[in-house]
Each structure stands twice: as C-alpha cells, then as structure tokens.
Amino acid sequence: MIKKDSRSRSRRLRKKLHVGEFEVKGFTIKLTFKESQDESHFQAFMQDFFHQAIEQKGLLFSGWGTAESFQGLVMTDQRYSSVEETQRQQVIVWLNDHPLIASATASELLDAYYGATL
C-alpha cells in the first residue's frame, strides 16, 4: 500500500505515484433508470451521456452497468489535472435533467487513483 503523506519522496516519484502536488481528483457517479431500457434506448442514452456530459466538458468516464443502472468514475482527460467542482455539478445536472433517469448521485471530489479512504 502506498502512503500518500510520505514527504521524503522526490518530485519525480511523487509525480509517478500521483501524490502530493500531483494528486488527481475525480468523482464517482451512480444512477438508476426509471424503467429497464431496451438495448437501443440504453445505447442511445450512453452516446448522449458520453458526448454531452463527458467529452464536451473535457472529462473521461470509466464504469460498468446494465440497462437498469450503472456506476463509474469521472476524471479529466488532462494528465495530472483534477475535475473542478463546476464540472462535477454540470454532470449531475445533466443526469438529473435527463428524462430516462430515476436517480443520480455523485460523490464529493476524491483521489481518483487511491480513493477516498487514504
């Protein structure tokens, strides 16, 4: 396990480990659909989600799910860059405004490489 608070690391090593000034922030999302979607509606939603809520805001998404619900991690597409709170809010608003979504929740900004527990 990597200790994030070790101060004896060189700048180069901190950068490789994404700790200290190179820590990357992201957030997790979890959502459920109002009703189970057939494959074509699910694919159409995912295309809209990736294009409008993720790619246009300079973000990346990694996740998993089904036509009933899915969850994942959102982070920026810039190396050593963190998600800003405004980007997080924009994704939440987009999901909550979508007519197929029953509920959407997002975590606070957390360490994208080591999670919230470290």
CATH number for the domain harbouring residue 65: 3.30.70.60
For 69-98, how does the pLDDT look when each residue is reduced to its tens digit (9 = 90+)?
A: 889 999 999 988 999 999 999 999 999 999
Residue scoring higher pLDDT (3 or 59)? 59
| Domain-embedded: residue 16 | no
Instruction: Name residue, tokens 């920026």.
Output: 76
| Domain-embedded: residue 54 | yes
| Domain-embedded: residue 83 | yes
What pLDDT is stored for residue 2 in this prediction?
Answer: 62
What pLDDT is stored for residue 106 in this prediction?
Answer: 95
Number of domain units in the chain: 1
pTM of the model: 0.85
List the structure tokens of 23: 């820590």
| Domain-embedded: residue 104 | yes
What pLDDT is stored for residue 4 in this prediction?
Answer: 62
| Domain-embedded: residue 117 | no
For 99-112, how does the pLDDT look when each residue is reduced to its tens digit (9 = 90+)?
A: 999 999 999 999 99
| SS3 label, residue 116 | coil
Rounded Cα distance between 47 and 96, Å, is 17
Q: How many CB atoms sit inside 10 A of residue 57's CB? A: 18
Rounded Cα distance between 81 and 74, Å, is 12
| Domain-embedded: residue 12 | no
Mean pLDDT to the nearest integer, 56-68: 91
Q: Give residue 81's domain range.
A: 24-111
| Domain-embedded: residue 60 | yes
Report whether 24 contacts 111 (CB < 8 A): yes
Rounded Cα distance between 15 and 10, Å, is 9
